[in-house]
Every structure is written in C-alpha cells, then in structure tokens.
A and B are shown apart, each in its own frame.
Chain A
Amino acid sequence: MSAPSSSPAPLHLAVALDGAGRHPAAWREPGARPDELFTARYWAGFAAEAEAGLLDFITFEDGLALQSSSPTGSDERTDRVRGRLDAVLTAARVAPLTRRIGLVPTVTATHTEPFHISKAIATLDHVSRGRAGLRIQVSELAHEARHFGRRTAPFADGELHAEAADHVEVVRRLWDSWEDDAEIRDVATGRFVDREKLHHIDFEGRHFSVRGPSITPRPPQGQPVVTASGAGEASYALIARSTEVGYVAAHDGDGPRAAVAAIRRAREATGLAADPLHLFGELTVFLDADAPAAAARLERLDALAGDPYVGDGAVFTGSAGQLADLLLERRAAGLSGFLLRPGVIAHDLPAITRTLVPELQRRGTFRRAYEADTLRGLLGLERPTNRYARPAA
C-alpha cells in the first residue's frame, strides 16, 4: 500500500486488558494461560508487550462484583473467567517493570472514597514517574451495591454520573491541594513545608463532603489523566465535565459522529471547550492474516462459548491492513485515537503490536519511538497549573 501524499495526524492507541480477553471463550485459546490470571507475571508480560508496541496506554478493567452475564446478579456459570484482581494495585505492580507506557486502572466512583482514590492514583503517578491515569466508571448494579450495604439500587436517573463527576472533582482538587513546591525543608526556620502552599479543598456535594488537603504530595503530572466511557447523555456529560479522554463505541455509520458532537456540545456548556479533550473510538478486535481467518477464529470461539459474540460495542474481524483502513476512516468522526479491546489478549495483543502498529507506522500515522516520558506528554497534554497556586507577583 502506498503512503498518502500528505501524512495524516498520528493516531493514539490504547488497549484494554481484562481477564483473557473480551471474548467469553478467550481463556480457552492456546497460549491464554488462564491459570495465571491472578499472578503478577501474567499482567507484567502483557504490559511489556503493549510497551514494545509503543502504545499510549493500557487500561485495566475492574468491578466490585464477580463478573456475570446476568445484569441482576451472579450467573453461576462455570465456563467463563470469574474473579479479578484490583486494577489500581495491578497497575502499580507493573509500573516499576515498564518505563514509558501509560497505566490507566478502572475505578468505580459509586462505591469508593474519592480521598482514597486520589492518593492511590497520585501514588501510581509517583511510582510510575508520571504515567498514571484512571478510567472512572459508575455502577448501577443492585448486587454490587449489596457488597457495600450503604445504599440501595435503583438509583435516580443521572444520579450516579453526577456523583462520579463530584468524585472526580474531589480527586482533582486533592491532587492540587499541594502546590508543587510546598515542601521547602527550610532549616533556618525549622519548617519542612510552607503551609501557605497546602490547601483545604472544602468540597461540599450531594453525596459527600471532603475537607482535604491530600496526604500525598502533588503527583508528577500534576493531574493524572482522567478517562471515562460514554454511552448515553449522562456519561457524555461526565466525559465533558471531568475527563481528558472519553471513549465512544466506534461503530460504522453515524453513531460515533453523533456521540462526538454531543460530547463536544456538552464540553462547550461546561466552559471547558478550550481544554483539550481526546475522544477515542472503542473497538473489540479479532486480528488475523486475513478476514476469513479472523472470521473463522471468531466462529470457533463462539462455538466454544455456545453463543455468538455480540459484545456491547463495535467488533472488528480482519487483517492489520483492514484494521488500519478502518481506524483511519472512522476517525473522521472526530476521533483522535482508539481503545482496542483484544478479543483474545494472548493472540490479539501481539497482533496489534506486531502487525497493526507497523502497518500504521508505514502509513506515517503512528509513532516510531516514545516521544515523551509521561502519559500527558504522549497525549500532547500540558502539565496543568495548580488551581490553588497564586501567580507569581
């Protein structure tokens, strides 16, 4: 394939890691190592693979309930992966073993304390030297709420997303609650910190109030990268108000364009239109030498699972060249990158890093080396100034 005359802007690429992969039968594939799902080795290996492919970041999926195919509770199935490790800890465990790739664990706002989450992600940023993000999600599952017992479903419309926006607001204020130069170690006056540079955040919201400051100093990126998935108005509002990266399903047709337009409108309404916001297309991928091979593999997986894979987003089967075509075409909807969900991590992640990435590089639309050592740097986002810092006189 020949390179287009004017090379398009580079794409951003991330992969979502969850169990053995997006397909319910993924764990039965050769090389899937389902008996190692709860080891550090398993996650470190895939993080290294993604980093070798120069991807922007990996997300670690998570939830505060056992996986289930039923929305009302446990499905009691024995033929699918069940159980998973905490995403923030898993990201922290692989951080010292990687150097450049962004690490974006999933956090459920509905049942967690923003104070704890803020210091956890700040610490992930400290241990990874500026490569932390988070993917904020809400949970309306009644059975998940029963694991906490503090509140009962159903929740009012939009309530959980509004709460998640408050959660992120608290997390962000806490990141700023220490100015960068708060630690002074001034032997002459005996002061370790300049208390004028530590700030109470005094957040008051419908679901919680938080006084601050954080116990953890401001992270290296200032503000780690906040991300969220969008499907519907409430989640678009959350993306618009609270994130630097939003994910929308990269279906064909007008869906992505409409989602992008809705989020951009909401962004205008929040007054944040001047702040950069990446919108990534979300896509499950089954990547093989050609389309028939990929289709055949999906068929084989479906037969193992006993159901055809529908997923809850866009699905791609085909070759690296075809996927590159599709990504470059769909980004016209206003997408600056893609979050790829490997159907089978053991197969499709190496296919992404070893066939898709070189294909995109050949077309001049993907990096050939990491150009920055922070996640913000990779995404072209500046390190934000601290909202509490007084400008120098």
Chain B
Amino acid sequence: MSSKPLKQIHLAAHFPGVNNTTVWSDPAAGSHIDFDSFIHFARTAERAKFDFLFLAEGLRLREQGGEIYDLDVVGRPDTFTVLAALAAVTDRLGLTGTINSTFNEPYEVARQFATLDHLSEGRAAWNVVTSWDAFTGENFRRGGFLPREDRYSRAQEFLATATELFDSWDGSEIAADAGSGTFLRDARAGAFAHRGRHFDIEGRFNVPRSPQGRPVIFQAGDSEEGREFAAAGADAIFGRYGTLDAGREFYADVKGRLARHGRTHDQLKILPAATFVLGDTDAEAREIAHEVRRLQVSGQTAIKFLEHVWNRDLSAYDPDGPLPEIDPLVGENTIALGRASVRQFRDPLATARQWRELARAKNLSIRELVISATADQTFVGSAATIAESIDTLVQADAADGFILVPHITPGGLDGFADSVVPLLQERGVFRTEYEGTTLRDHLGLAVPTPASASASAPAPAPVS
C-alpha cells in the first residue's frame, strides 16, 4: 500500500427514473410523481450527508414499434420546479438537474439555474445533456433540425453563453442602500453581448450573481466530443463505468485531458452511476439481486430490448426460447424512439453474432441472455462488502464517488443510508457532517471568479 492519503468519497442519489431499473411491481414501490416521494428520498440522502440529489431528464415519452412504450415507469415532473420545491424541505443537499442544451435557450436556462442557486442558497448543479434527435424535437419550436455532429458545438456555445450571463453580475452590484437611494452600484449590471454560430444575443441579464457564482456543471456524454467537453469545462461527470477496469480507464482518459485545458486533476470529479443490492449477507444479497434482475427484465422487456439491436419487430419470438436466427436490420434504427440505449450498439451485426455465441455456449434463452448482457447491479452484498467495494474503487482511481440509483421509489436508499454510510464513515472516507453549506463546498470546488473580475486576478499558468 502506498502512503497516499485516503481519498474522500463523494456520494449522490439519483431519483429512480423511467427505465427498467425501477421495479414498479414491488409492493414497496411508491409513487414516482407524488411530491412526498421526493421529500422522502431527498431527506434520506441528506440524513446520509450525501453531496447531492440527481434528476435525469427525458423530453418525449419513448415509443417502440409506433406505440408508446408501456412496460417501464413513465412520467416525471419538471426538473427545475421539483428541485426548487425540494430546496424548501432540505438544507444542505445539492440539487442537480439534467437540462438539455438543444431544446432550450441560454437566457432562460441561465436564469432558472441562477434562481435555483439563490433559492437553495448555493446548492444548484446543471447536468448538460445534448440529446438532439428529431423525435424529441417534435415537441419544440426548434424542431429536430440539429445535426448530430452539431450537438456539442451547440452545447459548448450554450454553456459558454450561459457562463457569460452568470458572469455579467460580479456580485458587488447590489447596494440596496435605502438612505442614499442607491439600489445598484453599477448602472450596467448584467450587460452582455454574445455573437456566435448558434447564439447571437445581447442585453441585460436579470438575475444577480448567485451564491455559487454559477451552478456546478455536470456532463454525461461518453463520446470523444463528450469527454473533451467535460475536460474543457465541466466540474463533474455523471459516468457510465462503475467497474474497476473500465472505471480506471475512463478516469485516466478524462483526467488526462485536463492539463491541455489548463485545469488540474481536482477540478473534475468523476461520479459513475451505480446500482446496488443490499442483503444481510453476501449470499442473501446475491439472491435478491438475481430476483431483482428477473423483475427488471420480464420476458416482454427482453424481447423489446432485443428489438433495439435487431431494429425489427420480434414480438413473435418466445422470450424463453433461443435468439432469433434472422439478422438485425442495419441502418437507421426506427423501431425504438427516444432510447439512449439504442445508440450503444453501433455495430448490431457484430453484437448479434456475439450474443448468439454467448447464448449457445451457456445455453441461454432470450430473457437470460438479456439479463446477462445488460448492466448487472454495480454493488451486491452485505453493507460491509458494499462499503469495501466502494472504497476500493475510489482509492484505486476508478471513480471519485458514485451516484446511486436505487431500484425502488422512494425508499430504495434507506437501507444504504442506515448501514453502508456508517461503515464508510468508520473508515474515515466519508463525512459525518457537512463541512460547508454549498454544493461546491461538498465537492471541494472553488467558487468561480467572474470574467470581469479576473482581469486583476493572477493569470493562469501558460499551457504549452
């Protein structure tokens, strides 16, 4: 063992969302819409001293084979509105909202995040996502005309523009001096002008600088462009890789990009999404995990999943029978709309070949194949085992912490808070009390200096 000091772990909670991770048929599964569920979930996360609560976003109900997909949880509240309401029932917990940069405008989004940061006293974060598809676009004025290759150029300019708006107030403008009648010290507070390829806007931003200066910025893409985008400007990544090897590879790759952008290792936190199954013993946890997987992947779900790869109607196949002998349809995937997972399989013929081999070798039915080919739970075991795994992964630089996705709403986090968190605290790798009040405090991130003020600040080290 090296004498490296122990890394402190960051933990966050993802409110269970709309995919087959959420086991809605469990009698313990409550509403995913009722505000009481959000209160319960957020208070559990805060009781456990988590860094933040995370909300994903989807802007169109999924459809498959021309019909609205009906097997998974459907429906979610508006991100900003529910986070603002949660700010009233929590004190310290960060509030991270996923907001798309394609189907929004910078002035409005910057305003909403600056407002959320004010109303939560410095707890707002923005997960910038770039879904661009025409299917989602059918719900918006812009429509779906943004080409895929432009999604990050728009996202980048969107974020840059929003940052210009956040920085248009430096925080010293409001005097509010009733005696002299000076409300503003600076008559030009909020002035901005941005000219670019995607946005050509100017005027006055109307929200004064918020407690964190600007929200914490998350990114959740995995492509080359996504990784560059994160390295250039994000404070944290909502990642995909929760295992040791894949995690270390991603971690090294993304952190390795920071220096080129004049940034240091600590300025970007890598927080993969992670599921977990907790039992009294490891054996019990494995048993529950197996059962949960079978609930997550029903026979129908397995067929629907296979259709994503095969890009054709497979409803005639028996989920308990062998994989289809026919090949996937290559080309634009038209069977499943609004599904990120579709894009994971860039070479469906190869995937089908691989899966057929695997199924033959292990004698797996369609359903069994899908269960084994799709994400297993990240952490399975007793509280001690899970605490140990999390700590090991973080100390090995596979992650800086995890965003936990329970499979039950809203009580799915309770056991983790009660049994795993105390063990991490005993190990000295997780806080027992919040040390600060803002999300930047929790994540150990500095408050950004507005561009206007940085003229007098020391220049960053030159990058060669």
Within 7-25 of A, Cβ neighbours of B (below 8 Å) are at: 25
- Report chain B residues within 8 Å CB of A193: 68, 70, 74-75
Contact status of A32 and B178, CB under 8 A, knowing A76-B187, A178-B75:
yes
- Report chain B residues within 8 Å CB of A112: 108
Assembly CA distance A65 to B202 (angstroms): 11
Q: How far is the CB of A224 from chain B (nearest CB, A)?
A: 12
On whether the beta carbons of A195 and B70 are closer than 8 Å, the reply is yes
Q: How far is the CB of B209 from chain A (nearest CB, A)?
A: 9
On whether the beta carbons of A65 and B204 are closer than 8 Å, the reply is yes
Which residue of A111, A143, A192, A212 contacts B24 across the interface (Cβ within 8 Å)?
A192
Whether B116 is near chain A, meaning CB under 8 Å from some CB there, is yes
A40-B87, A89-B119, A209-B143 known; 16 new pairs, CB 8 Å cut-off, are: A27-B176, A64-B206, A82-B189, A83-B174, A83-B206, A83-B207, A85-B119, A89-B80, A95-B85, A120-B80, A123-B82, A126-B34, A178-B75, A192-B74, A198-B68, A209-B138
Within 203-239 of A, Cβ neighbours of B (below 8 Å) are at: 207-213, 215-217
Whether B313 is near chain A, meaning CB under 8 Å from some CB there, is no
Ranked nearest first, the 5 interchain pairs of A and B with the lowest CB-CB distance are: A123-B81, A92-B84, A211-B138, A34-B176, A123-B78
Whether B317 is near chain A, meaning CB under 8 Å from some CB there, is no
Chain A residue with the shortest CB-CB distance to B80? A89
On whether the beta carbons of B141 and A208 are closer than 8 Å, the reply is yes
On whether the beta carbons of B298 and A127 are closer than 8 Å, the reply is no
- Report chain B residues within 8 Å CB of A39: 118-119, 121
- Report chain A residues within 8 Å CB of B190: 66, 82-83
Whether A80 is near chain B, meaning CB under 8 Å from some CB there, is yes
- Report chain A residues within 8 Å CB of B81: 88-89, 92, 119-120, 123-124, 127
On whether the beta carbons of A65 and B206 are closer than 8 Å, the reply is yes
Chain B residue with the shortest CB-CB distance to A95? B85
Whether B139 is near chain A, meaning CB under 8 Å from some CB there, is yes
- Report chain A residues within 8 Å CB of B201: 146-149
Within 57-115 of A, Cβ neighbours of B (below 8 Å) are at: 63-67, 73-74, 76-86, 88-90, 92-97, 111-113, 115
Whether B182 is near chain A, meaning CB under 8 Å from some CB there, is yes
Of the A-B pairs whose beta carbons lie under 8 Å apart in the complex, a sample of 5, sorted by A's number, is A78-B186, A86-B207, A122-B78, A210-B138, A216-B77
Chain B residue with the shortest CB-CB distance to A25? B181
- Report chain A residues within 8 Å CB of B87: 40, 93
- Report chain A residues within 8 Å CB of B141: 113, 150, 207-208
Chain B 90-132 interface 0/1 with A at a Cβ cutoff of 8 Å (1 = within): 0000000000000111011001100110111100000000000
Chain B residues packing against A (C-beta within 8 Å): 24-25, 33-35, 39, 58-61, 67-68, 70-78, 80-82, 84-85, 87-89, 103-105, 107-108, 111-112, 115-116, 118-121, 138-141, 143, 169, 174, 176, 178, 181-191, 199-208, 298, 300-301
Whether A194 is near chain B, meaning CB under 8 Å from some CB there, is yes
Which residue of B116, B182, B191 contacts A78 across the interface (Cβ within 8 Å)?
B182
Whether A155 is near chain B, meaning CB under 8 Å from some CB there, is no
Whether A302 is near chain B, meaning CB under 8 Å from some CB there, is no
Whether A300 is near chain B, meaning CB under 8 Å from some CB there, is no
Within 347-386 of A, Cβ neighbours of B (below 8 Å) are at: none
Assembly CA distance A216 to B199 (angstroms): 29
Whether A35 is near chain B, meaning CB under 8 Å from some CB there, is yes
Q: How far is the CB of A295 from chain B (nearest CB, A)?
A: 22
Q: How far is the CB of A222 from chain B (nearest CB, A)?
A: 15
Which of A183-191, A263-271, A324-332 sits within the interface?
A183-191
On whether the beta carbons of A81 and B183 are closer than 8 Å, the reply is yes
Q: How far is the CB of A357 from chain B (nearest CB, A)?
A: 26
On whether the beta carbons of A27 and B89 are closer than 8 Å, the reply is no
On whether the beta carbons of B119 and A93 are closer than 8 Å, the reply is yes
Whether A116 is near chain B, meaning CB under 8 Å from some CB there, is yes
Assembly CA distance A334 to B300 (angstroms): 59
On whether the beta carbons of A76 and B115 are closer than 8 Å, the reply is no
Q: How far is the CB of B161 from chain A (nearest CB, A)?
A: 10
Assembly CA distance A72 to B75 (angstroms): 42
Which residue of B59, B75, B77, B186 contacts A115 across the interface (Cβ within 8 Å)?
B59
Interface centre among B183, B190, B202 (most CB of A within 10 A): B183
- Report chain A residues within 8 Å CB of B301: 190
